Every structure is written in C-alpha cells, then in structure tokens.
Structure 1
Amino acid sequence: MSSAQGNETLKQPTRRTWIKWLGTTPLAMLVGCSGKPSAAFSGELLQPDLSVGHRIRDGWKLPQPTGAPSKHAVVIVGGGIAGLSAAWELQRQGIQDVVILEMESTAGGTSRSGKWEASQFPWAAHYVPVPMSFNRDLLELFQEMNIVTDVSADGQVTVAEEHLCREPEERVFHQGRWLEGLYPASIQEIHSTDRQQLEQFQLQMNQWAQRRDEQGRRAFAIPMQLGTDSDPEVIQLDQISMAQWMTDQGYDSEALRWLVDYGCRDDYGLTLEQTSAWAGVFYFASRLSGQANSIAEMESQPVMTWPQGNGKIVQHLSQRFAKQIRTEHAVTKITKQPNGQSMRVTAYDKARDRMVELIADDVVFAAPQFLASRLIDQWQQAGRDATTFQYGGWVVANLLLKARPSESKEDGLAALMAWDNVICHSDSLGYVNASHQSGADHGPTVITWYHPLLKDDPKLSRQTLLQMTWDDWAAIVLADLSRAHPEIETLIQRMDIMRWGHAMIQPRVGFMFGKQRQQAAESLGRIHFAHSDLSGIALMEEAFARGVAAARKCGAS
C-alpha cells in the first residue's frame, strides 16, 4: 500500500463541499479554521499503490524486459482472496508450477490486515458467515484451517467455538443510548405497526430462503452461482431498487427501512435506492437455512470472525504459497503467443525497477474487470465490455485506543462494547472491536471504523476521496464516533486511515442479470477470470468460489 496522495485533478466540488456532503455532522464541528482537528495523536493516510498505473497513464515509457521469459503452467494476476484460492485449487489438482503476481507489497487485497501491540486488525473484510453444507469447497478450506471441525451427514456444520463471534455480537446507538442487536428500538418499545412489518419482512425472507427452482437450486445461495439463474420472479427483482420493492410490499416502517438500508450499505456500499432488489433480498435470504417454521426458529448463519478479520484466511494461504507469490509486480500486458497455445504476461518489478516476462499455459486473471480492458490485448477484439461494472469507494480507519470508552450503566447489557457497534442514522457503519474475540473486555484495543461513499457517481467519489487529507478524515471519524463516545479523542493513541477507491463491486439495478456480468465469467482463450466482481457481490465466499472455478478451467482450454 502507499501513503502517497492521489494525483487526479478535481475542480468541483471542493474538499470542504465534500465534507458537507458526508452529512454526519455540521461542518463547523468537523474542522476548524485551520482545516485540522485538535487531535493529540498522529497517523498515516494510506491507499492501494497506484503509482505504476498513474505513471503509465501520464506517458511513462516502460523499459524493455531483460533476460529470457520464465515458463510456468499457470500465472495468476492478483493476490487477493480470488487469486490465492485459485492457487489453492490448482495445488489440489497437482499443478505446482504456479506464480502469483501481486501489485502491492503484501497479498490479500481488501482482506489484508495490520498489527499493533494491542491487537491485529482488519483493513476491510472482517467476517464470514458459517458456510452451508452445499458450499463444499469453502468448508474444505476451513477444515484444513481447523476452523470447521465436522460436517455431518445431514448437513450440520460444526465450527470450533473460538472462531464463532462471541457475545455481545452487535449493538446500535440510537437516540442517545446503546441497544442490543441492530434494530433501532428495544423489544419493549417497538410500535405495533413496526413490529408487524418486521415480522412480515422476516417471514418473507424465510420464504425466499425456502424457494427452489425447477432444478432444485435455492433462489439465493452463497456463493451466488449455486443459486438459480432461471426463476423469473427472482430475476425480475433485479429490475427495481430495494427501496421500490419495499414500497411495493407496503413496508413503510422507518426502523425497518433503516435496518435494510444498513444491510445494503454494509455489504454493497449502496443505499436502498441504489441497490438492486435482488441484492437487497439476497443479503437476508442467502444467510437463512429456510428450514424455520416460525419467526422464533428463524436465525441467520452464525458469524465467524478473528482479530485480523479475513486476514486470518489470507495469512493461511499466503504462508502456503509464500514461494509462489511475487509482490510488487504490476502486470502491464497480457498477450497471446503466436502459437496460440500459451500466454505472455509482462510485469513491472517495482523492487528491482525492471520489466519481467512470463510464459504460461494458462492465466488466471484474479483482478477487477475494469483492469482487464487495460491489460488484456485481445479484450476489445473479443467484444468484451465492462462499462456497467461500478465499484464503490470506502474509507476505513483503524484507531488504537489506550482504554475503552466509558458506557452508561442505564444501557444494561448493551453498555458492554460489542464486536459490531453501529451508530444509527450515521453515514458510517460504525466500528468493529478487534480484540473482541480475545475475551478482553477492558484495556487497550483497536477499533476499525467503516465509511462507504454513497454518491451516485463513483468516479466523482474517488476523485474527492483522493483529494481529502488525513486531517479531513480524522475530523470526520472523530465527529462520528463522538456521538456515541464523547471522550473518544482522549483515548486515541493512533489513527491510520485507508482510502479504498475501488473497494467493492456494486450490485446496482439491472447489473446482476445483465449481459456484461454474465459474459465476464467466460474464459477468453486461455485466460480465466476470477474475482468477486464476477458475482456482483464483494463477499469473501464469492471471491473464493470464483478463484476455484477459474483454477478448474486451467489445462482444459
């Protein structure tokens, strides 16, 4: 990753106008006249390393490769979950001659993690629901990691207790107090109309979870390619927004609409109005077994989490493929060899300031589709188009706290910091507590704060994202957290802030069953694609499944 400022130019809106757009707190409370918070702590402003791409864009002439190309069975472009999973599956097939080219100084993509003395912590992805029994490949990985201990004949998955999120799992700050769970009202205070709509929504999600197509496939499954692609009612959901669907169903409860909006922002970085209704229903229905006969029996899949978030998985796979991973290698071109039987991959080795070439029988392109058109020589000739692929920007801040914030005893059990701590009616998603799984409920910790950029034009969001400084973002983080923890500034020892310009694919209206997404997963000769954006949903399970699927195509071209 890099701490360099982005060099994209932006004339309007200004940085201060952008801070107003964030909408969580009045501008005067965010930054003073100097534009800096009064914080007595420091930190870094980080971002994925874009230096090579920007140099090429600005006219940099690449040096000529030196030395003969190395030859390999498979070259994997991208060392995130999809690329590492492809290597995992290739090894299971007995294919050992594999090279993973990763642009960053460390593998993992948005599942990477960091470490301070108080705890490890995630830089983005931070949990995985317990896979259902039909997700066999992922269960095998988790068995290999000693996370899943058994899968019974009737499909019951057993997870080692230390990997399951311990209580309290989640809480929400609403109207000046913390409440257990994520619904912004206590059980005793839910209005009858709100209660009725919440129960109806839960029953409806369970019905979607029970639904099967003519082939016996679930309407909504994780990974999504195991779900139906032929049920007309399911497909039709992609033609309207989740907001429209809820209105059509008569759901006007403010609390319920906030809860569903939170889910869309949490997994997709989109609002209710921006999210495909298919994705909105998927968020809830795909995590339900569909076996419940009543609301009392209805429960989403348990959550597995670790101090470093999904960095736990990255660490396991990175250690396994340490000799195959080549970090700081930015791929610049992928071309077909004249014989048509192999591929040539050209990459810039940043550490050694040289160009290298690799010849591969197959290439797994485990990078986002927006890069494919720039790197793959025959992309446009093949009639490929990725213009409907839109990626949301995120800001993630990790805060080292010397102690936990004080809590009101009036909040009861919700006064204890949970794993997931959400601030109602904030544009942020709140924060997760990295040391939660350690069982230490007092003393130093690291909290990870998440903020999706929700504007309709992702490009504009990215441009402004790169223009804002550490001071700007530190002020926004402080203002947001101070709503729930007035003394938070006095507890912070360090705040590092990551700007993710293309953090996740966005399942906007019409994208999930559009031609471009469906075509994107098809191999292009000996190039096989593997990334969560092929699923339209940026989940670890989707990236893993796409990596495994691409690996299985290698050697069969």
Structure 2
Amino acid sequence: MNRRGFLAGALALGAGLAFRVRADGLPETLPEPALPEAWDEIDHNAVVHRVRDGEALPRRAQPEAEHAVVIVGGGISGLTALSELPAGTDALLLEKEAETGGHSRRRRIRGVWCPLGALVSQGPIAPFTSRLNALGVAFQPLPVPGLAWRIGGRLCEEPLGAGIDALPLPAAERAAFRAAADELAGYRDPATGIFFPRSDNRPEIRALDAITLHEHIARRGWPESLKKLLDGLLAVRIGEDGSQVSAWTALWLLSAIGGDNYSFPGGHGALGERLAAQALDGRPQALRRGWTVTALTPLAAGGVRVDALDADGAPRCVQAGTVVLAAPKLYARKLLPQLATERPGVYESFRYNAYLLAQVSLKHPVGRCFETLVSEPSPRMYVAADRLDPEANGRGHMTIYVPMSGSAGRARLLGAHPRALAAELLDGLYQNFPEARGAVEEIRLQRWGHPLVSPRPGQDATLAAAREPWGDIVFAHSDTFGVSGLYSALWTGIDAAAEVQVRLLARQTPTRNEEHAHVQVA
C-alpha cells in the first residue's frame, strides 16, 4: 500500500485510535479513551440558580422545627462553626449536596485520590496548628520539583527559582525573573511582608490594594514574559489574570509559590472529611443533606425563618435563634434582598469565577513536576495528583484546572458539550505530555459554577462591612477576606462560632428588668 492509500485507510478507521511510529518504522495504533457524553456532577445548582433568578419558590406554611442555631452550608467554614460549638448545643447544619466539604472534597478514581477543588495550602500555621493537629491531618510537602512552566515549546522547571537560568529568554529578562522571585520571597516575611489582617501591614504594603497587579508590573518595568507567567499562575488560582485584581492579593497568592507548600492525598478532601467527622461526633442528627436554602426571613420577635427545598423538591422550613450563613456572599445577597438597601454596594462587590476540572486516569504517572502551568492558548494547570497518594501503586492521575472567567466563561462551562471540551483537553494533554498518549484510560469532566472570589483593588473597605452580623444572621465563608482559601474558611468559622456563643449566653442570662419582674411575681 502506498502512503496515500495508508492514510485513507487510517482515516476510515475513525476516532478512537491514534498512531505513532515504532522503532521498526511501522505505525502502531494506540487506544484512545471514550470521551464523556455527560458531566460528572459534583455540585448541583439548579435550585440555587432559581434563587439567583428571583423565582418565587414554594414555602411551607409553618416551620417544622426550631433550633437555637442553624448553619447554612457544609463547607469548611460551616463545619468549623459546628465543631467549635459546645457539645449539647441545639444546632442544625443544612447542606445542599449529598456530602459535606464544599470545595474541599475528593474522590477515589481507579485507585487514586484526586481533588474536587482546593488542593494546596501553606501547611499548619498559627493560629490553626492545634486545630489541624487535633484532626490528625498529615500535611505532605509538595514534591520537588514542584512547578514547571511551558514556554517556547519546552517545559521549564522552577521558573521562579532554581530554573531561572535555564529559561529560554534573554539575560535581561532572566534578571527580571530573579528580581521578581526576590520580591515575592520578601512578601513571605511574617513581620514585614504581606499577611492577614491587612490593617497590620506596613503602609507601603497596604497601598498595593489600591492598584492592580498589571499596574504593579508596569511600575516595576517587568517584561511581557514575566507578566505572562504571573498572569497564568494567578489565573489558575483565582480564575483570572492581573488586569483587574488587587496587587495586594495577587502578590500574596504568588508569594506562596516559592515558599513551603503542602497538601494531602486528594487535596483538602481529607481535611474536610475529618472535620465533618469531628463536627458531627456525638450529634449525627445535626446534619440535613440535600437541603438547598431558598430564603432567610428575619422575624420581628427575634430569630430567623429558614426556607429550603429538599432533594425531592419538597418545601422545608425551620426556625433558628441564630443563623450562620456559611455560603458565598453572592448567595447571601440573594437570600437576603434587604442587604442591597441596608448595605449598598457591599455584597455586589464580590465577583466570582468558574472552573472546569478534568480528572484524567492514567496507566502510569506522567511528567516530572507536581504542577505544570501552560499559558497558551489560555492558562491551565496540570496537577499530578498521584504524586501525593502513597496508595497509587504505580498508577497515574492528572487533575486539570481550567479557569472559565467572567460571564462568557461561565456560559461556556454551562453550555458546551462535555465531549467537545474533553477532546480539546486531551489534545492539550498530548501536546504537553506526549508520553500520555496511549496511557489515558478515562477522562471525567466536572464543573464548579462560582468557586473563587475575584479581589478588586479597594475592596478591603467593603470586606469589613460584609462580615458584620446582620440581626440574628452571622456570616462565615472562605470569601470573607476577599480571597478564597483554607485559612479564611477556618478563621471565619471560628469567628462565627464565637459570635453564636455570645448570643446564646446572652439569651440564657436574664436582664435586670427580667430579674426584677421575676422577684415581683414571686
């Protein structure tokens, strides 16, 4: 058969086979995985979207139960709030999914734990060390080399560290990379760098919140190649580049790249599971799964009416003395329309970005680095989840994070067919990791509708107002500090539980008037 005849025959075989040339020069066919026809759903937002769109949803005539505390949202912040409440507290946690954990969940796919969201943290730092130790969480340092960046058609390891001299760039640009790496290292200093709370930072550090990352890059005179790297690293962490993001927040996130970073098998999923076990220990009835809260109504006599739809779509309702709203501020302003008039411009300042996740099961590990950033044609991060799983037993697994920023990105995430997206992702995988061809066994696509808040310059002024309790409603969520993260979730959960306990104590302690009235009656 001549070459033309061979190619015609190859095309006739259709999709499902790929070709490479063996050492003897003959073509070798490789099996390709079946592309998904449906989403592997990890988050169910149908009811949430109805709330977002202002639809009038059915309600029960009367509450079916009353509780001292109702927590809305079973992510890290909600679970933390529940676990911090004293044993015996009449508390109920409502979670719309069948499992708790929110963006800190994991799955075991073909023998490898893989993340369904949050993955990397800075390890057990104060003031959370004792709490994490009590959970028995075993942080694992990220493997070295930790990061690779695809530039100029090649993968370069540690582009802001030991690999700077190997970057295919002119000497002047490599010098800018070294300057940026030194600057980011300085921001990690616990006394003079960037840290929470922002008010404790030096004035020149606080001033970074008044400009965007791109403005900071321009002031430094950093080259386009460095801007592309920083934009890509930022995008895969919060969903967009530095064109509109606060330089303070962007540099705080980017500074962690060169420091010590840790994770668990499957990302933060292990932590979420242990936190749920601790929170529900001795009070298994404190959790209602499959309840999506649709409205919060403050009551004139005190307390809050909490309306929801259960997994079957039936209206449910409970009454709470205090509500901990451990949900995104985007959701808070839909549950409480009064916030728009009483705190104008506060909750509207919170913007969120969506993500596409691909879970790729492999016969064997692929690539050397734990994380691989690809900036072209759009940013995405390849994470070798198998590197952190001691039970992987030689199998490989890639979790691919693809930011879908803005309304256009979210529309594509919700509207595109998963098969088309999977084909595009596999093409990118093979281009960046040729050794993956023939090793892919399965690809699953998952979508997060609005996991990461986008911090704008100057938003710090509204963050304080957003976290202030409103009547008998206390706010807690990882977005509360203007950037999504493990420690903001823990922090606000702890704060919310403390606020709740103050309120519970106040209700148990009679006022002087009440004491006087009691004496008179007696």
TM > 0.5: yes
Once the two structures are superposed, residues 156-190 of structure 1 have per-residue CA deviations (whole angstroms, 9 ceiling, x without a partner) of xxxx6x72223343333444443332449553556
Going from structure 1 to structure 2, the CA distance change for 1:169 and 1:200 (only over 3 Å counts) comes to closer
Going from structure 1 to structure 2, the CA distance change for 1:139 and 1:499 (only over 3 Å counts) comes to same
Going from structure 1 to structure 2, the CA distance change for 1:284 and 1:177 (only over 3 Å counts) comes to closer
Q: How far apart are 1:65 and its partner, in Å?
A: 2.2
Aligned equivalent of 1:501: 449
The AA in structure 2 aligned to 1:367 is A
Aligned pair partner of 1:130 in 123, 130, 144: 123
How do 1:249-260 and structure 2 match up within 5 A?
249-252=220-223, 254-260=224-230
Report if aligned partners of 1:396, 1:498 keep a CA contact under 8 Å in 2.
Answer: yes
Are 2:235 and 1:265 aligned? yes
Larger Rg: 2
**Whole-Å separation in 2 of the counterparts to 1:95 and 1:176:** 60
Are 2:469 and 1:523 aligned? yes
**Whole-Å separation in 2 of the counterparts to 1:60 and 1:266:** 33
Q: How far apart are 1:498 and its partner, in Å?
A: 1.3
**Whole-Å separation in 2 of the counterparts to 1:268 and 1:54:** 22
Going from structure 1 to structure 2, the CA distance change for 1:130 and 1:234 (only over 3 Å counts) comes to same
Report if aligned partners of 1:41, 1:492 keep a CA contact under 8 Å in 2.
Answer: no
Are 2:130 and 1:140 aligned? yes
> How many pairs were matched up?
467
**Whole-Å separation in 1 of the counterparts to 2:446 and 2:234:** 21
SS for the counterpart of 2:434 is: coil
**Whole-Å separation in 2 of the counterparts to 1:121 and 1:430:** 14
How do 1:322-361 and structure 2 match up within 5 A?
322=280, 323=284, 324-340=286-302, 342-351=303-312, 353-361=313-321
Are 2:209 and 1:238 aligned? yes
Aligned equivalent of 1:321: 279
Going from structure 1 to structure 2, the CA distance change for 1:333 and 1:251 (only over 3 Å counts) comes to same
Report if aligned partners of 2:147, 2:371 keep a CA contact under 8 Å in 1.
Answer: yes
Once the two structures are superposed, residues 196-251 of structure 1 have per-residue CA deviations (whole angstroms, 9 ceiling, x without a partner) of 32332233334444485xxxxx5522xx3x34267543333222211111111222
Aligned pair partner of 2:359 in 386, 398, 413: 398
SS for the counterpart of 2:369 is: coil
Aligned pair partner of 1:87 in 39, 61, 82: 82
Report if aligned partners of 1:478, 1:489 keep a CA contact under 8 Å in 2.
Answer: no
SS for the counterpart of 1:553 is: helix
Aligned equivalent of 2:382: 431
TM-score normalised by length of structure 1: 0.76
Report if aligned partners of 1:333, 1:377 keep a CA contact under 8 Å in 2.
Answer: no
TM-score normalised by length of structure 2: 0.81
Aligned equivalent of 2:173: 194
**Whole-Å separation in 2 of the counterparts to 1:183 and 1:383:** 42
Report if aligned partners of 2:350, 2:453 keep a CA contact under 8 Å in 1.
Answer: yes
Are 2:198 and 1:220 aligned? no
The AA in structure 1 aligned to 2:252 is F
Report if aligned partners of 2:193, 2:201 keep a CA contact under 8 Å in 1.
Answer: no
SS for the counterpart of 2:34 is: coil
Are 2:102 and 1:109 aligned? yes
Gapped regions of structure 1 (runs ≥ 5):
1-31, 148-159, 213-217, 289-298, 406-415
If each structure's helix is expressed as a fraction of its own residues, which one has the higher value? 2
**Whole-Å separation in 2 of the counterparts to 1:339 and 1:392:** 39
Report if aligned partners of 1:42, 1:493 keep a CA contact under 8 Å in 2.
Answer: no
Gapped regions of structure 2 (runs ≥ 5):
1-10, 18-31, 504-522
Going from structure 1 to structure 2, the CA distance change for 1:250 and 1:186 (only over 3 Å counts) comes to closer
Aligned equivalent of 2:246: 276
**Superposed CA RMSD:** 2.9
Going from structure 1 to structure 2, the CA distance change for 1:64 and 1:508 (only over 3 Å counts) comes to closer
Aligned equivalent of 1:539: 485
**Whole-Å separation in 2 of the counterparts to 1:510 and 1:374:** 23
**Whole-Å separation in 1 of the counterparts to 2:485 and 2:166:** 35
Going from structure 1 to structure 2, the CA distance change for 1:167 and 1:58 (only over 3 Å counts) comes to closer
How do 1:153-232 and structure 2 match up within 5 A?
163-183=140-160, 187-188=165-166, 191-210=170-189, 219-221=193-195, 224=196, 226-228=197-199, 231-232=202-203
Report if aligned partners of 1:65, 1:354 keep a CA contact under 8 Å in 2.
Answer: no
Q: How far apart are 1:365 and its partner, in Å?
A: 0.5
**Whole-Å separation in 1 of the counterparts to 2:390 and 2:150:** 22
SS for the counterpart of 1:45 is: coil
The AA in structure 1 aligned to 2:353 is G
Q: How far apart are 1:489 and its partner, in Å?
A: 4.7
**Whole-Å separation in 2 of the counterparts to 1:40 and 1:229:** 52
